[in-house]
Amino acid sequence: MIYNIHHLHCGSFCPVCAPLFGQKGWKAHLVCHCLLIETDRGLVLIDTGLGLQDYLNMEKRLGTLVKKVGHIESNLKLSAIQQIQQLGFSQNDVKHIFVTHLDFDHAGGISDFPNATVHVLAAEFNATQSLSIKNKLRYKTDQFKQHRYWSFAEHNDGEEWFNLQKVRGLPLFQDEILMIPLLGHTAGHCGIAIKKSDGWLLFCGDAYYSHLELDPNNKLRALGITERLFAENNQQRIHNLKQLQYLAQHESSIELICAHDPVEFNRYQ
């Protein structure tokens, strides 16, 4: 049973050339939007943003290029663990972590919760084990390679969920938390759907970057360049973006949010 959903801001980036991220002006402002869910099975964290060790040892952990290009704010208070403690919980209250994917700005906090079970698509974890040049930039395996508790899900042969599919076999949360494959940005990228009393909240990770993309009439060419550059499979990414646009236009019971849009995050403040 789900009791409450908290919206956490677990990282702040200010890369130059805002139009490349669907924003106006010179510098963009990107957040790392994560969710903390209170359930009868303990706390569940959806994505983790940057962790304590990322903030304490940024260049060593993330690399000089990422730090400089991303213009990452160094602020320990943005770590999920400190925000969770501010809410009155402890590290060990977090029993499960669902990650949309293992990019460094989504997986950094895994190491702050060593006893939590991390749920991820198997294809995503496998991609971190064979690093291309692009994957070396996106995956920082020191963030999670020592973690002991994993639950790998397969995205093939899922069950229908609206115009998408859900991963089979997550009985732990009685179909109140679902993994929804949204491949393209990475090899095993997925959304996380959370059941609410009045519908669903679909956390889409990096399947899109700006709320403006949910309207297919908005032409964000510069952002399209960025997303194509970051994508592992751009055709898959575009296909799934169209599916999300359909949901946004036709399914009022589904609330869509992504990981980096400050406009979406501010709705919950």
Instruction: Give the DSSP per-residue string, 26-73.
Output: SB--EEEEEEEEEEBTEEEEE---S-HHHHHTHHHHH-HHHHHHHTB-
pLDDT given for residue 174 in this prediction: 84
183, 206 in Cβ contact below 8 A?
no
Q: What is the mean pLDDT of residues 10-37?
A: 96
Instruction: State the average pLDDT over residues 85-113.
Output: 98
How much is the pLDDT for 110? 98
pLDDT for the residue numbered 203:
98
What pLDDT does 160 receive? Answer: 94
Q: How much is the mean pLDDT over the chain?
A: 95
Condensed to tens digits (0 to 9), the pLDDT of residues 125-159 reads: 999 998 788 888 899 999 999 999 999 999 887 88
Residue 243: pLDDT band with limits 50, 70, 90: very high
CATH number at residue 111: 3.60.15.10
Residue 252: the pLDDT is 96
Report the pLDDT value the prediction gives residue 158, as an integer from 0 to 100.
81
pLDDT digits 0-9 by tens, 189-238? 999 999 999 999 999 999 999 999 999 999 999 999 999 999 999 999 99
Q: Given this model, what pLDDT does residue 109 score?
A: 98
| Residues sharing a CB contact under 8 Å with residue 111, sequence separation 6 or more, in sequence order | 51, 52, 53, 143, 144, 146, 147
Mean pLDDT of 74-91: 97
pLDDT at residue 234 in the model: 98
Q: Is the pLDDT of residue 168 over 90?
A: no
Query: Environment class of residue 224 by beta-carbon count within 10 Å: exposed (0-12), middle (13-18) or buried (19+)?
Result: middle
Check residue 137 and give its pLDDT: 87
- Assess whether pLDDT exceeds 90 at residue 188: yes
Total-model pTM: 0.97
Place of tokens 């949010």: 257
When pLDDT is averaged across residues 84-108 and rounded to a whole number, the result is 98
Report the pLDDT value the prediction gives residue 228, as an integer from 0 to 100.
97
pLDDT, average across residues 96-113? 98
Res 130: pLDDT: 84
pLDDT at 116: 98
User: Could you tell me the pLDDT band of residue 65, with boundaries at 50, 70 and 90?
Assistant: confident
- Give the domain range for residue 115: 2-266
The total number of structural domains in the chain stands at: 1
pLDDT of residue 224: 97
pLDDT of residue 23: 96
Length of the chain: 269
